[in-house]
Each structure stands twice: as structure tokens, then as C-alpha cells.
Amino acid sequence: MNEGTFTALRSQLQEAATAFADGPDALEGILLGIVDDVDRAVREPLEIFPVCHHSPASALAMARRLREKQPKVVYLELCEDMAPLLTELRNCRLPVAVQAFATEVDGFPAEWAPLSVVAPITEASAEYQAIAYALDTPGVELVLVDRSSDHVFQWQETKDESAGPADPDAPPAEEEAALHGDAVGVEIGDLRPRFAELEEHLLRHGRVRHWSEWWHQYVELPLGDSDHDTYRQVMLLIGSLFRRLAPGDPHRVRVDEDRERYMWTRMRRHLAATGTDPADALYVCGAFHAASRVEEFGVHGADTFEISPPSATKWQHGLIPSSHAAIEAQFGLAAGSVSIAATQWTKNLKRTRVKPYRLAGQAGTKTPKKAAKTAPASVPVRAEEAAASDRLTGFLRRPPVLDRLDEAELLGWSVEIVRAARRNGYLASTADAIAVFETSILLAGMRDRAKPTPYDFQDAAVTCIEKDTVPGRRDVRRLVEIMLGGDRIGQVGYDALPPLARDVHDRLAPLNLKLQQRGVQRALLDMASRPELEQCSDVLWMLRYLMPHGAARPIMGERRLGERSIQESWDLALGTHQRALIELGYEGVSIEQVLEQRLRRTAYGPQATTATVLQAVEDATLYLGSRRLAEELGRHALEVLATERSVDGAPEVLRRVRGLLAYYRTSEPSLPAWIESFVKTGYAHYCTLLPTAFTDDDASVRQVAAMLGFLFSMESLALSLGCDRNQLELAVAQSHPEDPAKTALLWAAKTQLGHLSRADLRARCDELLGNPLVVPAYPRYLSGFLHALEPVPGLADFVVEAVSNAFARLPDPVLLPWLPTLITSLRSGGADLAPLLIREAGRVFPGRLADLDTWVPPWRAAPAPAARPSRGRSAGPRGLPLLAAHPATCDAVANLLGCDDTWQTTAPAPSGAALLTRHPRTAEALGALLATP
């Protein structure tokens, strides 16, 4: 390009700067600097193609330019380590995202883990056009030149990388908007003002609500029909404008410039290594980076940038499903803007008859013919042979083209939105369709537009239909987005899935379900008639453990230690949670391996407690059936228990150990060595901590009760393994609590050990009720007795007695204010033990209301005197009148046994033991032994 290409434009901008500014220096420097940036980029021997992220105008211009230029090398602004994944795009239905994922970090802060980088790709994007052209055209090389995924995190200060402000008018994010999770997005071709005042100025004078609408109205539509030179110069102008007016955030500016240095360094090295002529290459990058001013810019730029080596973090790469809503949420775009862009892309193709590039075999698109794989022969257009003229001057001075109103299209939109509103519960009618039609034209006129845009139509529909309430789940704004294109959700094909995901699909094949389909599907498993479904059941339970809630949800059937259902029913949504399944594939080659790794990570983590390790042991037994892993984790639980100095996890430890003991006792011939050692160590451990826990304010009564529950319930096993019961007795004797609840708990423990009788315990409770100063604290004593049911369940009748005595003896002025405290204490402190108490109360109290008046509590009833045995003899056998009344049965048994004795008619004199009389020799020998001196 010659030197005077933009001379006229420079002169006009200089005059404008002098006329509208106090002095020509500041404004003139900005305006002329923008022209210099455009001139510099246009002069570069390696053609720079500036794009905007997911812009239909950029995609259309890219398809045109690729067919005209036929470049042999395409340099693309995308993380260089993602190149091997691009060939798998043909096995997916767009939109999808290329992802780099790392679960374990090495060289980054541990709190950043897991690391995730995604680059979403849609069909209506210039990046996809370049990828499809390069992969399906023989002799064309695609080179990714942007920083690697590792450098993305090397060059940032924190894990949070802002992707732009979110639209305040956007509706709440739905499930599809979270497909990318909290991944860092690679903003390919991001183009948005970084100067808040500039964006506010553009929105106010453009009479639009958000940036996406401004871009659609003032960039997408004008550039949709422009030629290549005009498109290129305008995009360079916008990129330079936003770059020069961006605020000076040092970190972000440094990252942007380092990315540009990185890309130009990679391209120069590739050109030198392959000997490629820069005229035969095309550099696709964001318009913001195309107007770069770094010294390394250009083929002949300075070669002073040193690329830092990657960290030791191991990255996994794959494809995950994406959606329009996910792209909008991640990059701060207005809701529905990507869907509107997809609709605009389809309109542009029909209007211009440009043939886009699509990967052969791409799901969701028409299969291209074989001839389309090779581009038609054409002479490449070299930059030095085709000198472009100044297109900016004409474009900037040209008034906006007012498209004529397409009444048929607008009328169709109005009818469709009313129909959709009716299906969603709105009381819409034909009159509303007419109102939407007229209001759309009115709003477009107020905004200086002859043809209503989709955003004008959306505002009109909300105004005329929504009124003041939303009867259904979707509001009118969302209905318009669905009608104008909807939220397309991509899908990763089976061949592009990692080995773990493919293995899951293969193992669940007997269910005969379309697992890749989105939505919930019901799976019925009858293992009694089809034993092969047991393997499917195992896979589903592991998926339930590993994947988010809702991916695999059991409806019928459960899995506990020692229990397996013979019939199960599941709600499966693996297609909806495909991203989570793919990310499992980054951790291993099978779900068993991933589950084992997670259990180890949980058990050996820095925050692991004895309870969490025991839970890992239970999960290893329950889902993997691995005794090897269970024993390893069990030995580790023993080590963790020995190092703990608190009793916070005692209730959970007690529950887990009881369950594992019950399982091993019923399913195995002997207990594993690790659990015997655990019981032995735990007995001594809790005996040591018991006196301190009774007096420690941080130890709750529930935790102390769990310690006693462990000691009492495991006592027989611990004593058989060599423990000394004196440890427990000494620990109880050394405990001197001051808290009323713990005091009652100690009394219950002494009762269990035999150091305190029931009568003494009852007397102490009566003394508490008789002391007016202690009565307000009596509910706390009851709370202690209630928790005592854990270690001493035999006290259930006594707890019922204690509560009943309180209701019977306390006067109403004391009882009524005390009831809320009692109820709160029982609900918060003993909700899991209340059923035992209620069951005992139901056994003690009468079953009929009429019997309550004459009912006497068993603890108040006088004990009946024991009947002394009578020394008299009856006519028949003593104490057996039934045999005497019916002797035939006894005679028959005697005849059967060969006994010929007769019935006694009179009671003989007391004769002592009849056996000694019949066999006196034993007694005589014993007497002689005792008489020997």
C-alpha cells in the first residue's frame, strides 16, 4: 500500500480535532494514532484478519476471504496446546468448547485447583470457518499461536479473570448457562470498550439498552454486505479506538501486550522454520490485538520476547458441550445475543449466497459433497499485488442505510410470540399481536430505525404481552429469545469422548437408553430376572457418588452395607451433565480408578478427620467392594485417631464404626485386623479424653455422649482384645462436670457402671425438682438424660419418669415458662433419640384416655409382696394342679418312657433332696473328704 492511502482521512480528522477541541494535541493524537494503527496493520506483509467473538459479519467476511485468497497457512488466536482437539469437532454438534483441565496443580497456588480453560466455538464464528477450511482443505496447515493454557494462569495475578460486566437486565441464569462452570474463558476476538464512559456514551447516543444491541445495529448490519477491504479497515479502526481509549490497568495491559508478543514470536518462528511466504498465510486474531503497537509486531518486528517454560502441572484436554446461554454468561453478553447472532448468520448466508465452510461429517449440518473439500482453483491474491484504497473515509461519511420494513417478517414474529405466550399461560389474543406489530414499528422510529430489530421487537412484546405478572416459568423476553433462535446446546459425539465416558456408555448399553440425549430418562433394573443388570447398577451408584446431583438419581432401591436391592429405578440425565462426565475422564480411564483416587484424596487430605476416613472406608466397601483399599484406609483411620486431640467427630465415628462392625460380623468369618486395632485404640483414646471433655466448654453434650457410647458399646470387644476396664472406671471417677447436661450424663454413666443405683438416681432428680433455685436448669438435666440414651439405652424408662415427674410436680407458673425451653432442648439436642423416648412412653402410658384417671405410674406403684411358698401338700403333685386334674397325658408319657411309678396320694414328709437319697455314695464320699483333718 502506498504512503498516501489515508492522507485525506488524516487531514479531515486533524481539522475535526482542531475545531472540536481546545487544542489539537490530545484529540489529534488519538484520532491520527488510530489511522496510523490501521495503516500499519494494512501494510503488514502477513495479512491480518481482525474478527469479533461470535460475529456473523466476521464469519461471513472470513468465508469470503478464504475462498478468494486460498492461504496455505492459517494462524489462529487460540491456545496452542488445544490444536490436537480441533479434528474432533467433526464428531460434535456445535456449539462446543475446547477445554484444558488440571485437577492437581504444580507451580500454582493450591487454592486455584482445579484449573480450567475453555474456548467456545459456534458455527457463526470466524474461528470455525478458519478451522473448517484448514482441516478439510488438502495442503493447508492450521497453526495455533496464542499462549498455552498453562501461560493463561502464569500471567494472571488471581484465578478470577473478569470477562466483562454482566447485563443488569439479563434474566436469572438457568442450567444451560452453567455449562462452562467457573472456567477461565479464552476471549477469541473479544471486542468491547474497556472505557466505561465510552460505552455509556455509545449506548446513550445509539438509543440502545446494552452493548450487544449497539454492536448488532451499528457494526453487524453495516458490515454484513461490505467488501473485504472495508470490513478489514473498519474492524481495525474499532480495535484501535477501543485500545487507545482503554484505561491503563497495568496488569491487563501487560497481559494483552504479552499475548501479542507471544503470537508474533510464534508466527515468525514458524515462517522461518517452514520457509512459508507471508503472502500465503493469514493471521486470524481479535481486532483489539490486530491494532497492536508492541515492538514485536509484524513479520519484521523485534525478536526480543522470551517465552517462559510451562509449569509442571499436567493438563488434560477435551471437548465439552456449550450453549448460547453459557457463552453469554461467561463473556458478559446480553441474554439472547448469541442466538440472535446465529439467526443473523443464517439470514446473511441466504442473502449473500456465500457458501460457508463446514467440517465433513459435522453433526447438525448438511454433509458437504466431496468436491467441496477442495476449494476451487483460484490465483491467490497477494498483498503487494492488490493495493487497497481508502475505504474508511467513505464508510465514515456515508449515512446509515435504512432498510425498508419487512412487514411479512415482523407480522410472522408477532403471531408467533402470541402463540408462544398462550402456550405458557399468558392471556394473549390477536389484539396483542397487532399491538406488538405496531409498537415494534413505533420503537424503531423513536430510535431512528426504519426496520425494527429483534431487540425492538423484544421490547415491544414485553410491553404489550407481559403486563405485570409472569404466569409460567418463562417470561416474554425469554420466549422471544427462544422464538428467534433459541438456546442451542451443543453435544460432544461418542467418538470425541474420553475413554472413561465411552466406557460408561458401553457398560450402560444393556439399559437400551439414549444416554447422550438431553433430559431425564427413566431406567428400570430388575436384577432378579436379568442378572446382567447388576453391573449397570454398580456403575450407576458410582456415577451418583462422582457426578453432580441429578445426573444419576435413584428413585427406588438403595445401597447400604450388607444390603443390595433386587429392583431399582433411576432417573438419568447424563446427556444434560455431559460436561461433568467428560471431566471425570480427565482424572482416569475408568470410574473405579477415579473413585479410588477421590477416596484416597479425601482420606489423606490435610483436613481429613477420623470420621471422614471411616466414611471413605465405608464408600470403598460399598461402591468398589475393595477389601484391599478398605484395609489401607482403615489403617490410616487408626493413625488419624491417634493424633486427634478433640472429640468433635465422636458422634460420626461412633455411627460409622457401629455400621462397619455390624457389616463385618455378618458378612465375614472374622473381623479385619484394622478394625480390632481401631476398637482397642479408640477405647484407650476416649478413656483418656473423657475427663477433659466433661469439663471442656467446647465439647458438647452430644459429643461426650458419643464417647461414652463408643466405650460402652465396644467394651466387650475391647476387653476381649486386652483392654483394661479400670481405664473406664478411672476416667469416670476423674470426671467432674459443672454443666447440668453433662452432670446428668455422668450420673447415667455411673449407673451403667454400677456405681450409682436407680434409687439414688431417682433421689437426686427428686432433690433437683424440690430445689426452687435449680428448677430453671432442670431442662438441661433432662437434655443430658436424653443424650444418655445413646450410651445407656436402658435408661429410657427412667427418662420418661423424670419428664413425667416434672409435669406432675411443678406448678403452672413454673411449668409454663419452662415448656419452650424443654421443647427447644429436646428438639435441638436429641432429635435422633426422641423416637426411643416416645416408644418407651407409649409402652408405659395407658392406651386409652378413659384409663388415664385411674392409671398409677409404675414408679409410684407399691411393690407387691412376694408370695411365700406353701409347705402343705395337695392330693396330687405339688404346685401342678393341672396334671392332677388330667393325669392321662402324664401316664401316656410315663408309659412311653418306661416309668412304672404310681401317683402320690398323700404328701410325704419333707425328705430333702431326692437325688441324694437315691444315690448316697456321692454325699458320703464328700462328707469323708470334708472330715479329713
Sign, CA torsion 549/552/558/562? negative
What percentage of residues in the chain have a pLDDT greater than 90?
Answer: 10
pLDDT at position 168 over 60: no
Calpha distance 192→238 (Å, rounded): 9
What digits encode the pLDDT tens for the residues 834-856?
Answer: 777 778 778 878 877 777 777 77
Beta bridge partners of 521: 572
What digits encode the pLDDT tens for the residues 307-348?
Answer: 888 888 888 888 888 888 888 877 777 777 888 888 888 888
Question: In the block, which residue shows the cell 450424663?
Answer: 745
What digits encode the pLDDT tens for the residues 509-536?
Answer: 998 888 888 889 998 988 888 888 899 9
Calpha distance 321→336 (Å, rounded): 18
Q: How far is CA 664 from CA 465, 630, 850, in A?
A: 66, 12, 49
Mean pLDDT of the chain: 80
CB 283 within 8 A of CB 260: no
pLDDT at position 773 over 70: yes
What digits encode the pLDDT tens for the residues 15-56?
Answer: 554 544 555 455 555 666 777 778 788 888 888 998 887 788
Calpha distance 530→537 (Å, rounded): 12
All 3 cell numbers of residue 473?
A: 416459568
Radius of gyration (C-alpha) of the chain in whole angstroms:
42
pLDDT at position 262 over 50: yes
Sorted by sequence, the CB contacts under 8 Å of residue 56 that are 6+ apart come out as 124, 220, 224, 341, 342, 344, 345, 348
Question: How many other CB atoms sit within 10 Å of the CB of residue 871?
Answer: 8
Is residue 247 very low, low, confident or very high in pLDDT (cuts 50, 70, 90)?
A: low
pLDDT at position 3 over 70: no
Q: Average pLDDT in the 633-657 region?
A: 88
Which DSSP state fits 886?
-
Calpha distance 587→266 (Å, rounded): 31
What's the confidence (pLDDT) of residue 394?
63
Among the listed residues 482, 146, 175, 121, the one whose alpha carbon sits nearest the alpha carbon of residue 327: 121
- The highest-confidence range among 248-262, 310-324, 820-834, by mean pLDDT, is 310-324
Is residue 217 very low, low, confident or very high in pLDDT (cuts 50, 70, 90)?
A: confident
CB 171 within 8 A of CB 327: no
What digits encode the pLDDT tens for the residues 78-122?
Answer: 888 888 888 888 888 888 888 888 888 888 888 888 888 888 888
What's the confidence (pLDDT) of residue 324?
83
Does this model's pTM top 0.85? My answer is: no
What percentage of residues in the chain have a pLDDT greater than 70?
Answer: 81
What digits encode the pLDDT tens for the residues 577-621?
Answer: 888 898 888 888 889 999 999 999 999 988 889 999 999 999 999
All 3 cell numbers of residue 651?
A: 458422634
Beta bridge partners of 142: 74
- The helix (run of H) or strand (run of E) holding residue 532 is none
What's the confidence (pLDDT) of residue 122?
86
CB 41 within 8 A of CB 201: no
What's the confidence (pLDDT) of residue 863?
59
What's the confidence (pLDDT) of residue 852?
75
Question: In the block, which residue shows the cell 494462569?
Answer: 153
Calpha distance 110→831 (Å, rounded): 39
What's the confidence (pLDDT) of residue 540?
92
Calpha distance 477→169 (Å, rounded): 10
pLDDT at position 388 over 60: no
CB 310 within 8 A of CB 151: yes
Per the model's pLDDT, the better-predicted residue between 599 and 186 turns out to be 599
CB 59 within 8 A of CB 329: no
All 3 cell numbers of residue 213?
A: 444491541
Q: Residue 571: which region, alpha, beta or left (left: phi > 0; alpha: psi -120 to 50)?
A: beta
Among the listed residues 132, 50, 129, 60, the one whose alpha carbon sits nearest the alpha carbon of residue 344: 60
Among the listed residues 55, 62, 14, 4, the one whose alpha carbon sits nearest the alpha carbon of residue 34: 14
Q: Average pLDDT in the 366-376 region?
A: 44
pLDDT at position 377 over 50: no
**Angle at the Cα of 141 from the Cα atoms of 137 and 142, rounded to 5 degrees:** 100
Among the listed residues 829, 845, 847, 832, the one whose alpha carbon sits nearest the alpha carbon of residue 783: 829
Is residue 72 very low, low, confident or very high in pLDDT (cuts 50, 70, 90)?
A: very high
Beta bridge partners of 556: 569
- The helix (run of H) or strand (run of E) holding residue 704 is helix 701-713
Is residue 399 very low, low, confident or very high in pLDDT (cuts 50, 70, 90)?
A: low
Calpha distance 619→547 (Å, rounded): 15
pLDDT at position 792 over 80: yes
Beta bridge partners of 144: 76
What digits encode the pLDDT tens for the residues 894-912?
Answer: 887 778 777 766 555 555 5
Q: Average pLDDT in the 489-498 region?
A: 85
Q: Tell me the pairing of strands 559-560 and 316-321.
A: unpaired
Q: Average pLDDT in the 467-477 region?
A: 76
First CA to last CA across the chain, in angstroms? 138
Is residue 401 very low, low, confident or very high in pLDDT (cuts 50, 70, 90)?
A: low
Is residue 170 very low, low, confident or very high in pLDDT (cuts 50, 70, 90)?
A: very low
Least confident segment among 159-168, 204-213, 222-231: 159-168
Cis peptide before 309 (omega within 30 of 0): no
What's the confidence (pLDDT) of residue 569?
92
Calpha distance 54→69 (Å, rounded): 22
CB 525 within 8 A of CB 569: yes
